[in-house]
Homo-oligomer: A and B are copies of this chain.
Amino acid sequence: MKKALAFDIGGTKIYSTIIDEEGKIIADIDKFSTPKTIEGIKDVLKKQIGKFEQDVDFIAIATAGAVNNENTAVIGSTGNLVEGYYTIDFQSLSSKRVFLENDANAAAWAEYKIGASQGSSVSVMLTLGTGVGGGIIINDRLLKGKSGAAGEMHFKMYPDKRRKCTCGSWDCFESYASGTALKWDAEEALNNPDVTTYDVIDGVKNCDNKMIEIFERWQRDIAIGIMGLANLFDPDCVVLSGSMAQFVDIKKIEDEVNKDIVTAPTSVRLATAGNYSGMIGAVLLGAKEVK
């Protein structure tokens, strides 16, 4: 059975382990703080590759940022990684094939193969974390688009420039549905720049009505975005993953989405492929490509 040395490269942490072609994690999970320089990131990768390369068939990397259709390079800048990250020649770090995919795309594939969207002809996955990631699978294929960057959850929630998005544009779904967005909602509602996402979550747990109202607005915005996606893709299901997904009321969102849907009712589900679904998905995708 093929196996791969897997990485998940995010803005704050790099994870690494060995995963087999069925998606089973077969080694310890190594964890590193993401270096703030390109050389630093390359050093982390090189050290791991040096240790484990001989034991695996290929290297699979789930990374922040859009990945090209050849799965060899990151295209363009990624907000929360070091400037110039996309210039890294990942293949040069190993003699084995290095397979890259965007982290949200990879996680969506893991959900499709071993998680919550198994058997779906069309599925949409949203990762609700610091930002919002997206991965769309149609007829057993990841939607990549002409450049590889498809699935960006940057459609507008307002047309009239209210809230700056991290992407440089205004009012994208990400800027209303992310964990950071929940903080912004609270800042606006409470006129307090110091309130945090977790203040809201704690407030909801403690039945604070104001915090509940803020949370409900955030959750309704997520439902409104999903409704649009459901009308575009007519998916079997929409899977929610990421650190913020555990806090939402899945059933309530599903009801809200289906109340006004013009296609056919869809199913909203919590992700089940676990915290390392990015690495698992990258390995499952890579295993199809690497002979």
Chain A, residues 33-77, CB within 8 Å of chain B (1/0): the string is 000000000000000000000000000000000100000000110
- With both beta carbons as reference points, the residue of chain B lying nearest to A139 in the complex is identified as B141
| Known A-B contacts A146-B121, A146-B122, A264-B149; A156 and B157 likewise in contact (beta carbons under 8 Å) | yes
Indicate the member of A76, A157, A234, A236 with the most B CB atoms within 10 Å: A234
Partner pick for A232 among B66, B232, B234, CB 8 A cutoff: B232
- With both beta carbons as reference points, the residue of chain B lying nearest to A158 in the complex is identified as B158
Indicate the member of A134, A153, A159, A220 with the most B CB atoms within 10 Å: A159
Q: In the complex, A158→B224 CA distance in Å?
A: 9
A window 78-121: CB within 8 A of B: 120-121
User: In the complex this chain forms, how many copies of it are found?
Assistant: 2
* Chain B residues positioned under 8 Å from A121 (CB to CB): 145-146
* Chain B residues positioned under 8 Å from A227 (CB to CB): 154-156, 169
Q: Is A262 an interface residue (CB 8 A)?
A: yes
Q: Is A151 an interface residue (CB 8 A)?
A: yes
Q: In the complex, A82→B173 CA distance in Å?
A: 36
Please tell me if the beta carbons of B168 and A150 are within 8 angstroms of each other in the complex: no
Please tell me if the beta carbons of A260 and B167 are within 8 angstroms of each other in the complex: yes
Indicate the member of A145, A150, A158 with the most B CB atoms within 10 Å: A145
| Known A-B contacts A122-B145, A139-B141, A157-B159; A151 and B232 likewise in contact (beta carbons under 8 Å) | yes
* Chain B residues positioned under 8 Å from A170 (CB to CB): 260
Chain A, residues 226-259, CB within 8 Å of chain B (1/0): the string is 0111011111100000000000000000000000
Q: In the complex, A66→B159 CA distance in Å?
A: 28
Partner pick for A66 among B143, B228, B263, CB 8 A cutoff: B263
Q: Is A269 an interface residue (CB 8 A)?
A: no
| Known A-B contacts A122-B150, A228-B156, A234-B150; A168 and B66 likewise in contact (beta carbons under 8 Å) | no
* Chain B residues positioned under 8 Å from A176 (CB to CB): 159
Please tell me if the beta carbons of B220 and A147 are within 8 angstroms of each other in the complex: no
Question: What are 27 contact pairs spanning A and B, CB under 8 A?
Answer: A66-B263, A76-B264, A121-B145, A122-B145, A143-B233, A146-B234, A147-B234, A147-B263, A149-B264, A151-B232, A151-B234, A152-B232, A152-B234, A152-B263, A154-B262, A155-B225, A155-B228, A156-B228, A157-B159, A159-B176, A159-B220, A159-B224, A168-B260, A170-B260, A173-B228, A229-B232, A232-B232
